[in-house]
């Protein structure tokens, strides 16, 4: 019997061939994603987005050009946003230097000129072990399905940082960041993002007999990761810009009686307006201005209330005062306003010159709740509470951000 020719053999074998894989991304999308991953690795290594500037190396400048281009193209943003766990696409294109337009060939050519070397011992396009570990930790992140529960916590921390209630400390300047400081409820800044320790698992022993625990870490860009304490600790030390965010404790801010060594710092005052504005008349009994003054005589602070838009251009009556000793008045006032932020009166009036003014220190809060807040400031627990307007009460924030 004669041998089959090649065409007949190919036709016969085709019946047994594995089917071609369907789907996959077009080559253009693959190139876009690969280019974006280079920028993500740069961010993971340096803790910031690539920047323009003659003092930057050619790779960073090219990455900056590429990032600007990706940000400006709607189809690229749509493709990359599900992968953008570092928030790189949210920034605006910078204009520190003109952004040249490269096509793929020109970009590859310029990069190749930089990386040329005659030394065969130099490895090209090979990531270091540290880069691989950073990339692996990035890849471990996934979308946080219940992020809505954590979002208020991140917003609250940002407000407290702006108000000075919380502070940040550079991890690299600490003598040691102990595992006992990486606990449930703590906040950090790592890779340019706020990170919240949402859950702390049971203690385990590593193969080297060291204690460790599994963490659930939620990030302010809506992602989360499941990592070990020691892995998170290493990630903080690798990031030169990583910071520890302090957990505020008000401490004994008040004392009913001043001692001989105490120096009076000021007074919290609670006022009720006598304004005829409809918004005030309708809620006069629960509408209060809460402020802090360094003057021992509150009346002196209020003498010109009817000409001051912050007092609604009307006379006021003092309904409560609380003396302060050895206190930072600005921080305390910001703390009180943060607690009652959900009940802040949204009102705009015009001053004597017709300029619109929006007073910010008026709150729809009953006096008995203000008294309770002062007591919680005294015992240091106020940082755990927020005001719930529907129930007219202070509620404790649970670990996950829900109210109890």
Q: pLDDT 10s digit of each residue in the chain, 404 long?
A: 445 455 555 555 544 444 444 456 787 888 888 888 889 888 888 888 888 877 777 778 888 888 888 888 888 888 898 888 888 888 754 444 444 454 545 444 444 444 444 444 444 444 455 444 544 444 478 899 999 989 988 988 888 888 777 888 888 776 556 666 788 888 999 988 899 999 888 878 776 677 888 899 999 999 999 988 888 888 888 888 888 888 765 444 554 455 454 445 678 889 999 999 998 999 999 999 998 887 566 777 787 888 888 889 899 999 998 877 766 677 788 888 888 988 999 888 887 778 888 888 899 999 999 999 988 887 778 878 889 998 899 998 754 344 55
What pLDDT, on a 0 to 100 scale, did the predictor assign at position 248? 63
CB 380 within 8 A of CB 165: no
Residue 349: count other Cβ atoms within 10 Å of its Cβ: 17
| CA triple 120-121-125, angle to 5 deg | 85
Q: Token match 């659930």: residue? A: 216
Q: Strands 393-396 and 385-388, how do they pair?
A: antiparallel
Alpha-carbon gap, residue 285 to 264, rounded angstroms: 30
Burial of residue 365 (number of CB atoms within 10 Å: 0-12, 13-18, 19+): buried
Q: In this structure, what are the phi and psi dihedrals at residue 392, rounded to the nearest 5 degrees?
A: 50, 55
Show the 3-state SS of 325-341.
ECCCHHHHHHHHHHHCH
CA distances from 101 to 31, 56, 74, 106, 107 (A): 16, 18, 17, 9, 9
Residue 160: count other Cβ atoms within 10 Å of its Cβ: 21
- Here the tokens at position 115 are 């990386």
What pLDDT, on a 0 to 100 scale, did the predictor assign at position 270? 93
Residue 255: count other Cβ atoms within 10 Å of its Cβ: 13
CB 268 within 8 A of CB 322: yes
- Here the tokens at position 396 are 């404790």
Instruction: Tell me the per-residue pLDDT of 151-199, one tens digit each, with 9 for 90 and over.
Output: 988 988 888 888 777 888 888 776 556 666 788 888 999 988 899 999 8
In the three-class reduction of DSSP (H, G, I as helix; E, B as strand; rest coil), residue 37 is classed as helix
CB 363 within 8 A of CB 389: no
Alpha-carbon gap, residue 390 to 242, rounded angstroms: 39
CB 223 within 8 A of CB 230: no
CB 39 within 8 A of CB 45: no
In the three-class reduction of DSSP (H, G, I as helix; E, B as strand; rest coil), residue 141 is classed as coil
- Is the whole-model pTM more than 0.95? no
Sign of CA pseudo-dihedral 182, 185, 186, 192: positive
What pLDDT, on a 0 to 100 scale, did the predictor assign at position 107? 47
In the three-class reduction of DSSP (H, G, I as helix; E, B as strand; rest coil), residue 386 is classed as strand
Q: 349: Cβ–Cβ under 8 A, 6 or more apart, which residues?
A: 277, 309, 312, 313, 356, 357, 359
């Amino acid at each position: 019997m004669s041998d089959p020719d090649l065409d007949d053999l190919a036709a016969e074998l085709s019946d047994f061939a594995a089917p071609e894989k369907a789907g996959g991304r077009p080559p253009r999308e693959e190139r876009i994603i690969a280019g974006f991953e280079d920028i993500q690795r740069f961010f993971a290594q340096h803790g910031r987005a690539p920047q323009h500037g003659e003092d930057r190396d050619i790779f960073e400048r090219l990455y900056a050009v590429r990032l600007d281009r990706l940000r400006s193209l709607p189809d690229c943003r749509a493709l990359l946003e599900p992968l953008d766990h570092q928030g790189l696409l949210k920034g605006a294109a910078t204009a520190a230097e003109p952004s040249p337009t490269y096509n793929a060939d020109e970009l590859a050519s310029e990069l190749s000129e930089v990386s040329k070397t005659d030394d065969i011992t130099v490895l090209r396009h090979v990531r270091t072990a540290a880069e691989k570990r950073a990339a692996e930790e990035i890849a471990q992140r996934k979308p946080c399905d219940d992020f809505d529960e954590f979002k208020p916590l991140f917003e609250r921390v940002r407000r407290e940082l702006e108000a000075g209630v919380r502070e940040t400390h550079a991890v690299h300047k600490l003598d040691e960041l102990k595992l006992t400081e990486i606990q449930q409820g703590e906040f950090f800044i790592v890779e340019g993002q706020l990170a919240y320790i949402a859950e702390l698992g049971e203690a385990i022993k590593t193969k080297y007999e060291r204690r460790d625990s599994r963490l659930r870490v939620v990030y302010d860009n809506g992602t989360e990761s499941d990592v070990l304490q020691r892995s998170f600790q290493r990630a903080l030390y690798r990031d030169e810009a990583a910071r520890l965010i302090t957990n505020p404790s008000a401490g004994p801010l008040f004392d009913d009686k001043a001692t001989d060594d105490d120096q009076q710092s000021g007074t919290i005052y609670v006022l009720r307006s006598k304004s005829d504005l409809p918004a005030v008349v309708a809620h006069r009994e629960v509408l209060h201005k809460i402020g802090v003054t360094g003057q021992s005589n509150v009346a002196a602070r209020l003498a010109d209330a009817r000409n001051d838009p912050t007092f609604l251009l009307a006379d006021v009556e003092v309904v409560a005062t609380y003396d302060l000793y050895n206190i930072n008045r600005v921080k305390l006032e910001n703390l009180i306003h943060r607690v009652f932020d959900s009940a802040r009166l949204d009102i705009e009036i015009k001053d004597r010159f017709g300029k619109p003014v929006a007073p910010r220190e008026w709150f729809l809060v009953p006096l008995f709740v203000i008294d309770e807040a002062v007591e919680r400031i005294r015992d240091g627990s106020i940082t755990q509470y927020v005001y719930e307007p529907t129930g007219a009460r202070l509620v404790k924030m649970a670990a996950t951000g829900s109210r109890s």
